[in-house]
Structures are given as C-alpha cells and as structure tokens.
Structure 1
Amino acid sequence: MKTLTAQMSSDGSAWRLYVVLYGVPDWPTFRWERTAPVPTVAERRRALAALGYEVAPGVVWTWTEDSQVPEDDSTAVVLIAAVTVRERDGGAA
C-alpha cells in the first residue's frame, strides 16, 4: 500500500496537520483553533481519519525544530511533526 507523509506544524499560531501530496495544489488539511496544548496523538489520529488517512503500522511521530527564517536562528521557532501515513480503507483521499 502506498505511503505518504503527514506533517503537523505551528509557528506559535494555531496547529495545522496536512498530508503532503506532491503535484497537488491543495493538500488535505486539518486545523486546530488553538495554540496550546499541542494536539495529542489521539487528536492527530482522529484528524487524519477525517482526512481519509491513518498512521502506517509501527510508525511514530518525529519532531523537528526550524526557524521562521531558516538562515536566522533568532527568529521564532517553527515546530514540525511528521509521520508516515496511508489511505484508510474506503477513505476519501
């Protein structure tokens, strides 16, 4: 079964989760209208399911830290979580 990458990010504003689909202009996206707390794994699983995806078996979320301006480490931090996903059986994706 084909796998894709889902990412969740925040730069201090609301958290959003999206599935990366290369060559597609509008990626499936879910947005939490809060800045804290970080969405739980269960919330992320439900959001992915609403988008038609599920976390691939045996995979865990990984976290990366970046800067809003990558060449300037004094700018605000952007937190990015990523996980491998696959389409759910009967999913809309």
Structure 2
Amino acid sequence: MVTLPAQLASDGGPWRLYVVLYGESQWPTVRWERSGPVPTGAERRAALASLGYEVAPGAAWSWTEDSRDPDDDSTPVLLIAAVTVRGRQGGAA
C-alpha cells in the first residue's frame, strides 16, 4: 500500500493538517481556526479520515520546530508534526 507524509503545522495562528501529494499543487487540508490547544490525536485522526486517510500501522507523530529565519531566533517558531499515512479502505490514494 502507498504511504504518504502528513503534517500538522502552526506558526502561532490556526493549525493546518495536510497530506503531501508529490507533484500536485493542491494538497488535501483541514484547518482548525484556533491557535491553541494543539489538535488532539482524536481530532487529527478524524481530520485524516475526512480526507480519506489513516495513520499507517506502526507510525507515530514526531514533532520538530522551524523558523522563518533560522539565523534570527527572535522570529516566530513554526511547530510541525509529521506522520506517515495511507489511504483508507474505499478512501483516497
């Protein structure tokens, strides 16, 4: 079965969860119009299901942080979580 990366990201504003589709200009996306709290595991699972995906067996969310300007530590932090997903039975991919 084909697996793809999904990411959850926020730069202090709304949270966005999207599935990375290589070679495509638009990716399936869900947006939470809140800056906090971080969407729960159940919320992320439901969002992925609404897009036709599920977390791949054995995959776990991993977190990292980035910055718009890595050389300036006073710029807002961008939090990114990533997980491997697969199409749900009868769903996407």
Deviation at 1:59, TM superposition (A): 1.0
TM-score norm. by structure 2 comes to 0.95
TM-score norm. by structure 1 comes to 0.95
Question: Aligned partner of 1:10: which letter?
Answer: S
Could you tell me whether the CA contact under 8 Å between 1:63 and 1:79 is conserved in 2? yes
Question: Aligned partner of 1:86: which letter?
Answer: R
Aligned to 1:45: 45
Aligned to 1:10: 10
Q: Which of structure 1's runs of 4+ aligned residues deviate more than 4 A?
A: none
Aligned to 2:65: 65
Runs of 5+ unmatched residues, structure 2: none
State the Cα deviation string for residues 15-41 of structure 1 (Å, max 9, x = none).
000000111010000000111110000
Could you tell me whether the CA contact under 8 Å between 1:11 and 1:68 is conserved in 2? no
Deviation at 1:70, TM superposition (A): 2.8
State the Cα deviation string for residues 2-22 of structure 1 (Å, max 9, x = none).
100000000000000000011
SS in 2 for 1:81: strand
Runs of 5+ unmatched residues, structure 1: none
Q: Percent identity of the aligned residues?
A: 73
Aligned to 1:85: 85
Deviation at 1:68, TM superposition (A): 1.9
RMSD: 1.0
